[in-house]
Amino acid sequence: MSDTWLNKVNWCADGLVPVVTQDVTSNKVLMVAWMNPEALRLTVQTGEAHYWSRSRKKLWHKGEESGHVQKVKEIRLDCDEDVLLLVVEQVGGVACHTGRYHCFFKKLEQGQWLVTEPVIKNPEEIYGQR
C-alpha cells in the first residue's frame, strides 16, 4: 500500500493532528488525542488505535498497559483534512485514565463543571500502584 493516503492528511507544523475517538456502540465521544503519521500507519496496520502522547513524547498504543485497547471500525478525515475521527469498539468499557467510561465526564451547569460519570474501575486496579 503506497503512502498517498498518509500524505493526504494535513499534518500540522508540529507533525500532529487531533483525533476524535467515538464509541461505535453508544456513539459517545470517548476522548481526543493526537496522531503523527506513524501512529496512523500503525492504527491502520494493526486495527487498534495508536496515538502520539504529547506529554510522554512517544507513540502510545492505547490500552498497552490497561488492556483497554480500541478496535478500529472506521477512520474518517474532515473537510480541511487536518482532523481525524476514529470509530472504535472500546474494550473493557473504560476509555479514560481516570477509570471512567469516557474523558468528557465534566458538564457545565450553572457556572460549575460537575462530574457526571462514575469511576468504573479504580486507576490503581487498572495500572497498578505507581
101 phi-psi bin (left φ>0, alpha ψ -120 to 50, beta other): alpha
Q: Which of residues 75-114 bind its own copies (CB under 8 A)?
A: 75-81, 83, 85, 96-98, 100, 103-108, 111-113
Q: Is 16 in the site for its own copies (CB under 8 A)?
A: no
Q: Is 12 annotated as a binding residue?
A: no
Among 70, 38, 71, smallest CA distance to 53 is for 38
Q: Is 35 in the site for its own copies (CB under 8 A)?
A: no
CA distance 126 to 68: 9
| Count of residues that interact with its own copies, criterion CB under 8 A | 37
Among 126, 30, 18, 13, smallest CA distance to 81 is for 18
CA distance 16 to 84: 11
Report whether 35 contacts 84 (CB < 8 A).
yes
Q: Is 127 in the site for its own copies (CB under 8 A)?
A: no
Q: Is 66 in the site for its own copies (CB under 8 A)?
A: no
Q: Is 56 in the site for its own copies (CB under 8 A)?
A: no
Binding site for its own copies (CB under 8 A): 1-2, 4-5, 8, 18, 20, 22, 27-29, 31-32, 44, 74-81, 83, 85, 96-98, 100, 103-108, 111-113
Residues of each annotated binding site for Mg(2+): 78, 80, 82
Residues of each annotated binding site: 78-80, 82, 96, 103
